[in-house]
């Protein structure tokens, strides 16, 4: 369970997040949607310790992780795929993955949730390119490496910031299939997504953000009525 309670954060004099509270239960898939500049990425950066929360608490499985640096989050079962992926471009795909696998082994101490072979089998394209430098891969392939790397950290909750942005429709489809397979295995998901159609396809419910606040919640079973509500869509998603 991830619990974000009354979190505020920003950059210098600018306050971007105002009193944000949300929860993602074990094995639950929750979306965070909102227009450009709503503060979604700022919230992800705050949850994963790249930005300091000015107030509020972030708790994972009962442990306060509010001030936990990004490299320690895997100890709490959290892995994040950021929008810019943050891979080591000059290193090979294998080297990028081995680094994560080494950390994941320490986290799970032999009781691995995702074995190397399973993870690479999820992404046949990645498996074919294990010895290529990451920087030579296409954007879609790099996204797959980023997801594979996150899985090797052995998380029970994956946070993904706009995994479909800028990718070809075929690649998006492949990535969505992988996310659905992970869901079937009980993986928790916090999906940051501008495309509400995609969010509705793979999550149970959603928080809608506008100007740094949660302004609406889409409950379980409410996705279809939300998508048909032109007034809400126009007001919050532009």
| Distance in angstroms (rounded) separating the CA atoms of residues 141 and 148 | 10
Q: Does 38 engage in binding with ligand ATP (CB under 6 A)? A: yes
Instruction: Sketch the per residue contact string, 182 through 211, with ligand ATP: x for CB under 6 A, - otherwise.
Output: ------------x-----------------
**Strands annotated E in the chain:** 2-11, 14-24, 29-34, 55-60, 63-64, 78-81, 157-161, 188-192, 205-210, 213-218
Nearest to 206 by CA among 34, 1, 8: 34
110: which 2 tokens? 């032999």
Within 8 A by CB and 6+ apart from 123, the residues are 144, 145, 147, 148, 178
Query: Smaller CB distance to ligand ATP: residue 123 or 236?
Result: 236
Q: Does 46 sit near ligand ATP (CB under 6 A)?
A: no
* Position 11 contacts ligand ATP (CB under 6 A): yes
Which of 30, 40, 87, 187 binds ligand ATP (CB under 6 A)? It is 40
Among 2, 4, 16, 148, binds ligand ATP (CB under 6 A): 16
Q: Least distance from C-beta 211 to ligand ATP, angstroms?
A: 9
Query: Which positions lie near ligand ATP, rule CB under 6 A?
Result: 11, 14, 16, 34, 36-42, 194
């Amino acid at each position: 369970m991830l619990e974000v309670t009354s979190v505020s954060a920003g950059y210098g004099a600018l306050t971007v997040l105002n009193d944000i509270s949300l929860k993602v239960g074990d094995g639950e898939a929750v979306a965070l949607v909102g227009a450009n500049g709503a503060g979604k990425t700022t919230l992800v950066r705050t949850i994963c310790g790249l930005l300091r929360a000015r107030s509020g608490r972030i708790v994972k499985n009962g442990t306060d992780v509010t001030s936990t640096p990004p490299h320690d989050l895997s100890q709490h079962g959290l892995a994040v795929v950021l929008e810019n992926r943050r891979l080591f471009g000059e290193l090979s795909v294998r080297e990028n993955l081995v680094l994560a696998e080494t950390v994941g082994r320490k986290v799970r101490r032999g009781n691995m949730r995702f074995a190397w072979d399973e993870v690479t089998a999820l992404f046949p394209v990645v498996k074919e390119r294990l010895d290529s430098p990451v920087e030579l891969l296409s954007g879609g392939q790099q996204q797959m490496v980023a997801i594979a790397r996150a899985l090797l950290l052995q998380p029970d909750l994956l946070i993904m910031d706009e995994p479909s942005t800028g990718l070809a429709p075929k690649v998006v489809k492949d990535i969505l299939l992988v996310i659905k397979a992970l869901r079937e295995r009980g993986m928790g998901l916090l999906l940051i997504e501008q495309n509400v159609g995609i969010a509705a396809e793979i999550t149970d419910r959603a928080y809608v953000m506008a100007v740094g606040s949660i302004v609406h919640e889409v409950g379980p079973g409410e996705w279809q009525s939300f998508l048909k509500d032109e007034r809400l869509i126009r007001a919050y998603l532009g």
